[in-house]
Amino acid sequence: MRLPLLITLAVLALSQHSQASPRIAIIIDDLGYSYSRGKAITDLPADVTCAVIPFSPHGSRLAERASLAGKEVIVHMPMAAQQQARLDRGGLTLGMQQTEILQAVREALGQVPQARGLNNHMGSALTEQAEPMGWLMGELKAHQLFFVDSRTSGRSVAQRTAQRVGIASAGRDIFLDNQRDLASINRQFNKLLQLARQRGQAIAIGHPYPETVHYLQQVLPLMEQAGIEVVPVSDLLEAPAVNTADASPQAQAES
């Protein structure tokens, strides 16, 4: 099954008059619970970034496969959410002490040795807490890793804490698939391209849903023709700037 022609043309139309080469990064979260869906992501024809949940049944195997395929790998670290959703094994919870957080992060990194960075899985509660975010960023700095804020809370302090601690970081701009139908995914993808054209770059997060996989399989081969460069998220990081003024990130959904 191919995408409807109208959806494909909508993607191309955004870049017809662009003179620059906007860059987009696409992080695919939640890898590790389905090998077949994860394999489809690692096989995508572009430099998507693979966010692997540590201790998931197929996480280590998919991280290795992604790395061998030339894909960038990051840890998708479970963190406490406002809705008190059940956390995956090894997640960071409210009330953890510094030693507990550092140990959990080290164990997660040990599960995904290919990781070059980390982003939060859920985390709308924990990312609002300055002290545990400081502990987390200090540990990432010790391992020379970067951080991407999934921005599941408008009150997240995670990215600015990363900046203050001194590690490269970024924040999610668009969620591709909060609604899992092709038309909605296409609208979100077009918003991603519009933002990239305006700013020169933009970052999206998606998930290994069959609809998202199918959409990306069809659309990513069109990006070169559309004048869009798909890059690993590490290419779009902000350099650390100590004492940067606070700025509240956007919020959308848990990821």
pLDDT digits (tens, 9 = 90+) for 131-175: 999 999 999 999 999 999 999 999 999 999 999 999 999 999 999
Give the residue extent of every domain in the chain. Answer: 5-236
pLDDT value of residue 117: 98
Topology (CATH) of 5-236: TIM Barrel (3.20.20)
Residue 252: the pLDDT is 55
- Confidence class of residue 4 from pLDDT cuts 50, 70 and 90? low
**What does DSSP assign to residue 200?**
S
Residue 83's pLDDT band, with cuts at 50, 70 and 90, is: confident
Give the single-character DSSP code of 202: E
Going by pLDDT thresholds of 50, 70 and 90, the confidence category of residue 253 is low
Residue 168: its pLDDT value, please?
98
Separation CA 50–CA 234 (nearest Å) = 12
CB distance 141 to 104 below 8 Å: no
How far is it, in rounded angstroms, from Cα 210 to Cα 199?
Answer: 30
pTM: 0.90
Q: How confident is the model at residue 248, as a pLDDT?
A: 38
The predicted-structure confidence for 84-119, as pLDDT tens digits, reads as follows 778 999 999 999 999 999 999 999 999 999 999 999
Burial label for 8, CB within 10 Å (0-12, 13-18, 19+), is middle
Per DSSP, helices labelled H in the chain are 5-13, 35-42, 59-68, 98-111, 130-142, 158-165, 182-199, 210-219, 223-226
184 pLDDT above the threshold of 90 = yes
Average pLDDT over residues 236-244: 76
Question: CA dihedral defined by 49, 54, 59, 62, rounded to 10 degrees?
Answer: 30
Start-to-end C-alpha separation, the chain? 28
193, 205 Cβ separation under 8 angstroms = no
Give the gyration radius of the chain's Cα atoms.
Answer: 17
Average pLDDT, the chain: 91
Least trusted range by pLDDT, from 5-9, 80-84, 123-127, 163-167: 5-9
16-48 pLDDT, tens digit per residue, is 554 569 999 999 999 999 999 999 999 999 999
The confidence band for 122, taking pLDDT boundaries of 50, 70 and 90, is very high
